[in-house]
């Protein structure tokens, strides 16, 4: 049977055929359960609370989040064979960060597929960027339910990580948060300073609590077993608070 004939047989309604082709474009295969993928784009605001037959993407998002975590954990485990648990955890968090997923979802055009309430369709009223990231997680949950873990794993690695995430550049971020913040401070004439607030011992380990100050005002604190790591952690928190785009800075 021809490709066109197969589509006509599986999806009789025109809008279903169009949507099924879109899913195939994203995943490489036709969906078995088209409803799962439709649900992946339905924001909670679009659900009539009295209509129990319709579901938002929240449950699929929960499932997709878990699938992504497992896939990326295995990916970094295999790619960085000589690295310890702390490094692997850090790398996984960078890959699956809200910023990364939302950026990828936007590049895939997921914002255009979102189903929202009328009051939220105005971009000024809501952060579509973040909602698209949630939809991407739900989409992966849909793939998992429709075709299983192997297909979901291949989608995350081949369709998300390899095309959109520069692993080598991301790897260099591990020790560069402080550098990025200092560059931002120099560019914006802000004085960045790190001060040791507290030093204490617990279970034979020494801990350092460091405060990050901008123009002599405390912004964030972080604690670790070395001052250097505490400063890096504080810098990462500050970058998130200041909403800096890390890719705009030179990484040493």
Catalytic positions, written as ranges: 65, 137
Cα–Cα distance, 252 to 91 (Å, whole number): 18
Cα–Cα distance, 101 to 97 (Å, whole number): 6
Helical residues (DSSP H) of the chain, grouped into ranges: 3-10, 14-27, 34-39, 58-79, 85-95, 98-108, 128-147, 149-154, 162-164, 167-172, 177-187, 227-242
Cα–Cα distance, 63 to 183 (Å, whole number): 39
Count CA atoms closer than 13 A to 224's CA, side-chain side: 14
**Residue with token string 């790897």:** 171
Cα–Cα distance, 176 to 61 (Å, whole number): 31
First vs last Cα of the chain: how many Å apart?
56
The SS3 assignment for 202 reads strand
Cα–Cα distance, 147 to 67 (Å, whole number): 13
Q: Which of 136, 165, 139 is nearest to 37 (CA)?
A: 139
Q: What are phi and psi of 128, to 5 degrees?
A: -65, -30
């Amino acid at each position: 049977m021809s490709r066109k004939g197969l589509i006509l047989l599986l999806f009789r309604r025109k809008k279903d055929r169009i949507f099924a082709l879109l899913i195939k474009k994203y995943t490489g295969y036709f969906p078995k359960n088209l409803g799962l993928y439709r649900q992946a784009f339905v924001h909670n605001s679009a659900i009539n609370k009295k209509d129990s037959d319709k579901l938002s993407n929240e449950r699929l998002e929960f499932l997709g989040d878990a699938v992504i975590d497992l896939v990326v954990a295995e990916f970094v485990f295999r790619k960085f064979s000589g690295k310890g648990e702390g490094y692997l955890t850090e790398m996984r968090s960078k890959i699956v960060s809200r910023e990364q997923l939302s950026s990828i979802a936007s590049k895939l055009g997921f914002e255009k597929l979102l189903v929202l309430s009328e009051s939220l369709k105005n971009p000024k009223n809501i952060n579509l960027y973040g909602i698209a990231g949630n939809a991407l997680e739900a989409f992966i949950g849909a793939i998992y339910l429709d075709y299983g873990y192997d297909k979901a794993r291949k989608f995350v690695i081949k369709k998300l990580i390899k095309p959109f995430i520069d692993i080598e550049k991301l790897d260099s971020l591990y020790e560069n948060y402080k550098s990025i913040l200092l560059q931002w401070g120099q560019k914006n004439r802000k004085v960045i300073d790190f001060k040791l607030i507290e030093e204490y011992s617990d279970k034979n380990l020494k801990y350092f609590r460091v405060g990050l100050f901008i123009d002599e005002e405390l912004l964030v604190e972080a604690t670790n077993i070395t001052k250097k790591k505490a400063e890096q952690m504080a810098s990462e928190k500050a970058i998130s608070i200041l909403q800096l785009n890390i890719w705009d800075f030179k990484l040493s």
